[in-house]
Amino acid sequence: MSGLPLEGVRVLDLTHAVAGPFATMLLADLGADVIKVEPPEGDEVRGAAPIVNGMSSIFRSFNRGKRSVAIDLRKEEGRRLVRLLAARSHVVVENYRPGVREKLGVDPESLFSVNRDLVYVSIKGFRPDSKYGDLPAYDMVVQGMSGIMMAMGLPGDPPIRVPFALFDIFSGYAAALEALAGLRSGQRPFYAEVYLFDSGVFSMSYLVQSFLDSGQEPQRLGHVHFSYSPHQAYRDSDGKWFIVAVVNDRQWAKLCSALKLRACSDPVNSTNVGRVANRDKINEELEEVFSKAPRDHWLSLLKEAGVPAAPVYTLGELFSDDYSLGLLEEVGGSRLLRFSGSLNGERPTAKSPPPQRQGQDSLEVLRELGLSYDEINRLVRDGVVNA
């Protein structure tokens, strides 16, 4: 689509791994010109499994719509090039380990010295003034420390990891939001920080709030929702799973009308609090009922009755559903997940595929900075730049 809100905004992307690249990808999706600065060896996740058609799926997930330059920031001439880029940028995003940005000369003070109008967003593992301030953090670390791994699964299970970088993604959204806040703010320069741990715990929202209110650790209930009943997965006559998600008394009445349950005659079950207390009895009857017919039968019946219900899909089933085709776009020969919303009725599309190799756009970007071909060739020979 044309007329994206961040057209004309240049983002200097000094990030790697997941949280930072996801944030800058969102900005690229919204129209920003994102210049991804990679070390000569490339973003660390370029080597993450699986690698398909020469590119890591993790790298492919978070780097569409960007131009890649490969610069060795351990060399003074490399730092000079990044200062030139910063002087022509509106936003900088970085997620270096503690102390690294200062060693590489891309700390806020260094870049503000060449551009007082910058919005600088820093993604950190923990608050710098805390006892964990010097520790590096990955999503797995935060999942462990946040309590979420001990709130998932069933009693007696080992800690269970959410099988994607959930808190990295939330932190990326927070970083993109702070960048937009900085662009909207009249304050310059603008400096913002995102803390991976804090963002992770914040995203757990009512799971944490329930603990703060009651002092009780969350029960490990697997696919069962601790606040509502019936609100979980059930198995049909073929062993397939589907969700029933009753959240209020009206929906319970509709379920009763559709299924004629014995549990519906118990006045205690007319309220959600009562149903939560009687969850085991209600589920015993529902499991018996749902075991007598296929999933599609129950989904059709519950839809007609106005009861929230849905199949439990594998990823293969997900992308066999016609709706899910709208989640994807073809970019440079790869199917990618597209931007998840619309702007004025249109879905933004990726400007370009993820950069196949680090530094593939170095020549183009450095020419835009006014460097001559001879100077660029010298920088390549000296190992400052990959092009």
Could you tell me if 32 and 11 are in contact, meaning their C-beta atoms sit under 8 angstroms apart? Answer: yes
**Cα distances (Å, whole numbers) of residue 317 to 30, 43, 151, 240:** 30, 32, 27, 12
DSSP designation for 106: -
Catalytic residue among 16, 223, 225, 231: 225
Could you tell me if 13 and 24 are in contact, meaning their C-beta atoms sit under 8 angstroms apart? Answer: yes
Could you tell me if 365 and 69 are in contact, meaning their C-beta atoms sit under 8 angstroms apart? Answer: yes
Could you tell me if 233 and 227 are in contact, meaning their C-beta atoms sit under 8 angstroms apart? Answer: no
The residues, ordered by sequence, that sit 6+ positions from 257 with a Cβ below 8 Å of its Cβ are 305
225 as an active site residue: the answer is yes
- Region of 99 on the Ramachandran plot (φ > 0 left; ψ -120 to 50 alpha; else beta): left
Helix (H) or strand (E) holding 26: helix 19-29
| Amino acid (one-letter) located at 327 | L
DSSP characters for 272-324?
Answer: HHHHHHTHHHHHHHHHHHHTTS-HHHHHHHHHHHT--EEE---HHHHTTSGGG
Residues marked active site are found at 225
